[in-house]
Amino acid sequence: MNEVEHVLAVQNDLGEGPLWDAEAGVLYWVDINPGRFYRWDPAAAQYETFAVGVPVGALALRTKGGMVLATKDGLAFWDTETQALDFIAHPEADRPSRFNDGKVDRQGRFWAGTMTDARSPTGALYRLDPDRALHTMVTGVTVSNGIGWSPDNRTMYYTDSTPRIIYAYDFDPATGAISNQRPFVHTPGSPDVPDGLTVDSEGFIWSARWDGWRVVRYDPDGKVEREIPVPAQRPTSVMFGGPNLDELYITTARTGLSTTELEGQPKAGDLFRVRPGVRGLPESKFAG
């Protein structure tokens, strides 16, 4: 049940941000540094790549068609017909930073956060509303990462990787406000760090552990429920997909690994899948 399947040998430099499109039955994800994203159709066993032209940290589908992307040069809309970017906001144009992970909440707002090359705590988490208003939600962030919401939509989970913390917040679905920040999982002495995450239909949190060779499932109290070994040192993110949302896709990275390290893990940077016996929650589209 927890056996990992090797899906695609894509050797991503920094594969991240998997997103399941339930209507089309396809998986999207990004390879951040080369500035491209992928579209995998498991039914046809085929994938496509799309060159964005700038490092891209996350993507989400739009209700109006196309996508919203979080990139090194700010937030932008992607036109699937012309394959062109339309930049709409760049809140950190004065800093050497880039956007990293992002997700859409169930009210159609896009959340995405930033990181700097120095990984100093100058990043932030932003919320883009459907009317294109941009709000700064969290400051003092090092490497903004995985984000997700509980099944009852009252708790938001958010990862700051360098201090090895997954935070929990009280979440107001109507306004998008967050409050009562507290550590949900904090592993300061661990050699690995929390990266992307997703929340399943039972309210458990799945976290990819960068440099940990594994994905961890935490219960709603923050206790480890299970660990799933991954044949790559740097799992980056997770997303439920498949017709029944019972397949957990796992993206990984090769970046920063030495030649010797890569020889010992030839599947680093590839796409994996596991059927863990639980289902995920459907992802929302940006409403703007």
- Cα 164–chain centre separation: 16
pLDDT tens-digit profile of 168-219? 999 999 999 999 999 999 999 999 999 999 999 999 999 999 999 999 999 9
Per-residue confidence band for 135, with pLDDT thresholds at 50, 70 and 90: very high
pLDDT tens-digit profile of 56-79? 999 999 999 999 999 999 999 999
Is residue 1's pLDDT more than 90? no
Per-residue confidence band for 2, with pLDDT thresholds at 50, 70 and 90: confident
Which amino acid, one-letter code, is at 273?
R
Q: Please tell me the distance from the alpha carbon of residue 91 to that of residue 136, in angstroms, as a whole number.
A: 9
Spell 125-135 as b/e; 16+ CB within 10 A means b. bbbbbeeeebe
- Look at residue 120 in the predicted model and tell me its pLDDT: 83
Is residue 132's pLDDT more than 80? yes
Q: Are 241 and 275 in contact (CB under 8 A)?
A: no
Q: Which helix (H) or strand (E) holds 261?
A: helix 259-263
Helix then strand count (H, E) for the chain reads: 1, 24
Is residue 140's pLDDT more than 80? yes
Q: Are 89 and 78 in contact (CB under 8 A)?
A: no
Q: Are 255 and 11 in contact (CB under 8 A)?
A: no
Is 244 buried (19+), middle (13-18) or exposed (0-12) by CB count in 10 A? exposed
Q: Are 117 and 95 in contact (CB under 8 A)?
A: no
Is residue 119's pLDDT more than 80? no
Domain boundaries, the chain: 5-274
Q: Are 2 and 228 in contact (CB under 8 A)?
A: yes
pLDDT tens-digit profile of 156-170? 999 999 999 999 999
Q: What's the CATH code, domain 5-274?
A: 2.120.10.30
- What does the longest C-alpha to C-alpha distance in the chain come to? 51
- Look at residue 37 in the predicted model and tell me its pLDDT: 98
3-state secondary structure of 260: helix
Per-residue confidence band for 117, with pLDDT thresholds at 50, 70 and 90: confident
Per-residue confidence band for 118, with pLDDT thresholds at 50, 70 and 90: confident
Residues with a catalytic annotation lie at 195
pLDDT tens-digit profile of 252-277? 999 999 999 999 999 999 999 999 99
In terms of Cα–Cα distance, which of 248, 165, 256, 264 is closest to 214? 248
Q: In this structure, what token pair is assigned to residue 222?
A: 């923050």
| Average pLDDT of the chain to the nearest whole number | 97
Q: Are 251 and 270 in contact (CB under 8 A)?
A: no
